[in-house]
Amino acid sequence: MQTFQHPKDASHWCQQQRDNGKTIGFVATMGALHDGHLELVQRAKRENDVVCVSIFVNPLQFNNAQDLAKYPRTFSDDCAKLERIHCDMVFSGEIDDFFANELDKTSPLPIAPLACLGLEEEFRPGHFQGVWKIVEQLFITVGNCRAYFGNKDFQQVMLVKELADYLRAQPNAQKPDIDIVACETIRETTGLALSSRNLRLSETQRAQALIIYETLNNTKKLWQQGERHGVVLESYMQKAIAQSELKLEYAAIRDPNQWSATTPSWRLQQAQALIAGYIGDIRLIDNMPLH
Ligand code: AMP
C-alpha cells in the first residue's frame, strides 16, 4: 500500500492509475477506522481496479473546538487495517496543503445546497460548508473516480451528490467527474451504528445509546402498520426518546425525495427517520428508511 502525506503525491499516483487504464474507487474518512469504513473500502475494491482512502480530520467541519480536539486520531492503526484489506493507497495532508489560498477555504459555497436545509445544519451551522470545502478538494486531488459514502450520514450523502453534480456542470475541463455511491449503514449486532465516536462511549453509555436504533426500528414498525403522517411518526419518536438518557437534538421525519427544512405535511410514500443527540458529551447520529 502506498502512503502519501501530501495531496500532490496522491494526485500524481491517481493520474498514473488512470493513464494505465485503471478505474479508481475512493473513500474519504477522518480516520479511527471501524468496520463501517472498511466495508466502504471493500466495496470500492470490488467495484474498481484500485482503491484509495483519505484520512484527514477536517477542522473546517467542526463547529465545536472540544469535539475537534477529542476526535480520535489513530493513523498507524488505520493504515494497518487498510493494508490488511488490500487498499492500494492512503493519503493525508495538512489543511493548507489542500487549498491554493485562504479565500478558497472560507469563501461562500457557489450554490445553496438542498442538503443544508434543517437538521444537521440547524444544530451544526457551517458544518456542511466545511464538508463541501474539503470534499471538493479531495475530489480534485483524486480526479475521476467512484466515491463511496455511508448513508449513516444521510444529509452528507445528499450534499456530496450535489457537489458532484456541481463539479460535473462546470465548463472547466479540470473539474473531476465523480460518481457517488451511497452505501448502507453498518451496525453492531445490537443495532448501534458503527461510529468513530463510539470509541469514547463507556459500557453504560453504549447501552444507553441503543435507544436510537430501537426508536428508529419501532418507528419503522408504525410505518409498516400503515402510518404515513410525518407529524404522528415524529411525535412517537420524540416521546420514545423523552424517557431516555439521550439528550435529543432532533428526531425527525423527512421525505427523501422532497427534502425540506420542516416536517412534510403530505401523506408520505417514502420517509426517512433521522435522530441526533448526545450521550454524555458524545454526539451520535443515525437514520433509517421507513419505506
Ligand atoms: P467519517 O470518518 O466519520 O467522516 O466517515 C467516513 C465515511 O464513512 C463517511 O462516508 C461515513 O458516512 C461512512 N461511515 C461512517 N460510519 C459508517 C457506518 N456505520 N456504516 C457505513 N458507513 C459509515
Report how far ligand 1's centroid is from the alpha carbon of 149 (Å). Answer: 7
Q: Identify whether the C-beta of residue 47 lies closer than 8 Å to the C-beta of residue 24.
A: no
Determine whether 37 is an active site residue.
yes
- Looking at ligand 1, which residue's alpha carbon is closest to its atom 12? 150
Q: What is the pLDDT of residue 53?
A: 98
pLDDT in tens, 135-156: 999 999 999 999 999 999 999 9
Residue from 74, 153, 154, 187 to probe ligand 1 pocket by mutation (most atoms less than 8 Å from CB):
153
Report how far ligand 1's centroid is from the alpha carbon of 122 (Å). Answer: 21
Q: Identify whether the C-beta of residue 285 lies closer than 8 Å to the C-beta of residue 153.
A: yes
- Looking at ligand 1, which residue's alpha carbon is closest to its atom 13? 150
Report the pLDDT averaged over residues 1-20. Answer: 98
Would you place residue 104 in the very low, low, confident or very high pLDDT band (cuts 50, 70, 90)? confident
Would you place residue 173 in the very low, low, confident or very high pLDDT band (cuts 50, 70, 90)? low
Q: What is the pLDDT of residue 70?
A: 85
**DSSP-assigned letter for residue 111:** S
Reported residue count of the chain is 291
Q: What is the pLDDT of residue 275?
A: 98
Question: Of the listed 6, 37, 86, 291, which one is catalytic?
Answer: 37
For residues 173, 178, 98, 93, the Cα torsion angle rounded to the nearest 10 degrees is -140
pLDDT in tens, 189-225: 999 999 988 989 999 999 999 999 999 999 999 999 9
Average pLDDT score, the chain: 96
Would you place residue 64 in the very low, low, confident or very high pLDDT band (cuts 50, 70, 90)? confident
287 lines ligand 1 (CB under 6 A): no
Q: What is the pLDDT of residue 100?
A: 84
Asked if pLDDT for residue 183 goes beyond 90, the answer is yes
Report how far ligand 1's centroid is from the alpha carbon of 193 (Å). Answer: 10
Q: What is the pLDDT of residue 268?
A: 97
Report how far ligand 1's centroid is from the alpha carbon of 153 (Å). Answer: 7
Instruction: Give the lowest-confidence range in 31-40, 103-112, 186-195, 239-248.
Output: 103-112
160 lines ligand 1 (CB under 6 A): no
Residue from 41, 68, 128, 152 to probe ligand 1 pocket by mutation (most atoms less than 8 Å from CB):
152
Enter the C-alpha cell of residue 172.
Answer: 472547466
Q: Identify whether the C-beta of residue 11 lies closer than 8 Å to the C-beta of residue 52.
A: no
pLDDT in tens, 71-101: 888 999 999 999 999 999 999 999 999 998 8
Task: Name residues whose C-beta falls within 8 Å of residue 13's C-beta, 6 or more positions apart in sequence.
Answer: 2, 4, 52, 89
Nearest to residue 4, comparing CAs of 93, 64, 70?
Answer: 93
Q: Identify whether the C-beta of residue 246 lies closer than 8 Å to the C-beta of residue 209.
A: yes
Q: Identify whether the C-beta of residue 57 lies closer than 8 Å to the C-beta of residue 68.
A: yes
Report the pLDDT averaged over residues 230-259. Answer: 97
Asked if pLDDT for residue 166 goes beyond 80, the answer is yes
Report the pLDDT averaged over residues 231-240. Answer: 98
